Amino acid sequence: MRVLPDVAGIDRTFDYVVPADWDAPGDPRGAIVQPGSLVRIDLHGRRVGAWVLEVDVAPPEGVTLRPLAKVSSLGPPVDVLDLARATAWRWYGRLANVLTTASPPTAVRALPLARPHVVAPQGAGVSYDEAFATAAPLVLRLPPADDAFDVLAAATRRGNALILAPSVDEARTFATRLRRSGVIVALHPRDWAVGAAGATVVGVRAAAFAPVRDLAAIVVVDEHVETYQEERMPTWHARDVCIDRARRAGVPCVLTSPAPTLDALALADERAPSRAVERAGWPIVDVVDRRRDDVGHGGLFSERIVSVLRGEGPVVCVLNRTGRSRLLACAPCGELARCERCHSAVTQRDDGALACGQCAMIRPALCASCGSQQLKNLRLGVTRAREELEALAQRPVAEVTAEHERGDRTSDLYIGTEAVLHQVRSARAVVFLDFDQELLAPRFRAGEQAMGLLVRAARVVGGRAAGGRVVVQTRLPRHEVIDAALHADPGRLVAAERETRTALGYPPFSALAVVSGVAAPAFVDRLGSTAGIDVMGPNDGRWLVRAPDHATLAEVLAAVERPPGRLRVEVDPHRV
DNA sequence: CGGACAAGCTGA
DNA sequence: CAGCTTGTCCGG
H or E segment to which residue A164 belongs: strand A160-164
Alpha carbons A358 and A335: distance in angstroms, whole number:
20
A195, A117 contact by CB (below 8 A): no
Of the candidates A333, A336, A287, A318, the residue with the CA atom closest to the CA atom of residue A434: A318
A521, A565 contact by CB (below 8 A): no
Residue A355 vs residues A331, A442, A463: alpha-carbon distances, Å: 19, 11, 41
H or E segment to which residue A449 belongs: helix A446-461
Q: How much is the pLDDT for A358?
A: 72
- The CATH fold assigned to A510-571 is Alpha-Beta Plaits (3.30.70)
Distance of CA A469 to the CA centre of its chain: 27
Alpha carbons A91 and A241: distance in angstroms, whole number:
10
Q: How much is the pLDDT for A313?
A: 87
Alpha carbons A69 and A54: distance in angstroms, whole number:
17
Residue A244 vs residues A24, A168, A451: alpha-carbon distances, Å: 39, 23, 26
Please list the pLDDT of chain A residue by residue as tens digits (576 residues). 999 999 988 999 999 999 999 989 889 999 999 999 999 999 998 999 999 999 999 988 888 999 999 999 999 999 999 999 999 999 999 999 999 999 999 999 999 998 888 887 777 777 899 999 999 999 999 999 999 999 999 999 999 999 999 999 999 999 999 999 999 999 999 999 999 999 999 999 999 999 999 999 999 999 999 999 999 999 999 999 999 999 999 999 999 999 999 999 999 999 999 999 999 999 999 999 988 765 444 468 888 888 888 888 899 999 875 443 466 778 777 777 888 777 777 777 767 787 776 777 788 887 887 777 777 766 567 777 888 888 888 888 988 877 767 766 678 899 988 889 998 999 999 999 989 989 998 899 999 999 999 999 999 999 999 888 999 999 999 999 999 999 999 999 999 999 999 999 999 999 999 999 888 998 999 888 788 899 997 998 899 999 999 999 999 999 998 888 889 999 999 878
Q: How much is the pLDDT for A323?
A: 41
Å from the A559 CA to the C3 C1': 45
β-bridge mates for residue A316, sequence order: A414, A430
Strand B lies under 7 A from the Cβ of residue A7: yes
Of 3.30.300.30, 3.30.420.10, 3.40.462.40, 3.40.50.300, the CATH number of A129-273 is 3.40.50.300
Alpha carbons A318 and A549: distance in angstroms, whole number:
38
Strand C lies under 7 A from the Cβ of residue A64: yes
Kindly report the CA angle at A156 between A154 and A161, in degrees rounded to 5?
A: 125
Around Cβ A23, how many Cβ atoms within 10 Å? 12
Which bases on strand B have an atom closer than 7 Å to a protein beta carbon? 1-4
Å from the A127 CA to the C10 C1': 60
Domain extent listing, chain A: 2-73, 129-273, 281-323+381-501, 510-571
Residue A163 vs residues A76, A78, A246, A398, A483: alpha-carbon distances, Å: 18, 20, 12, 35, 32
pTM for the model stands at 0.90
Strand C lies under 7 A from the Cβ of residue A47: no
Strand B lies under 7 A from the Cβ of residue A46: yes
- Does residue A234 have a cis peptide bond before it, meaning omega lies within 30 degrees of 0? yes
Fold identical between A129-273 and A510-571?
A: no
Strand C lies under 7 A from the Cβ of residue A9: yes
Which bases on strand C have an atom closer than 7 Å to a protein beta carbon? 10-12
Residue A433 vs residues A30, A73, A472: alpha-carbon distances, Å: 63, 52, 7
Q: How much is the pLDDT for A322?
A: 45
A491 DSSP assignment? H
H or E segment to which residue A511 belongs: strand A511-516
Query: Please, where are the H alpha helices in A477-531?
Result: 480-486, 490-504, 520-527
H or E segment to which residue A286 belongs: strand A284-289
Of 3.40.50.300, 3.40.50.720, 3.40.30.10, 3.40.50.150, the CATH number of A281-323+381-501 is 3.40.50.300
Say which nucleotide is closest to residue A43, CA to C1' distance. C11
Longest dimension (CA), chain A: 87
Strand B lies under 7 A from the Cβ of residue A9: yes
Strand C lies under 7 A from the Cβ of residue A42: yes
Say which nucleotide is closest to residue A48, CA to C1' distance. B1
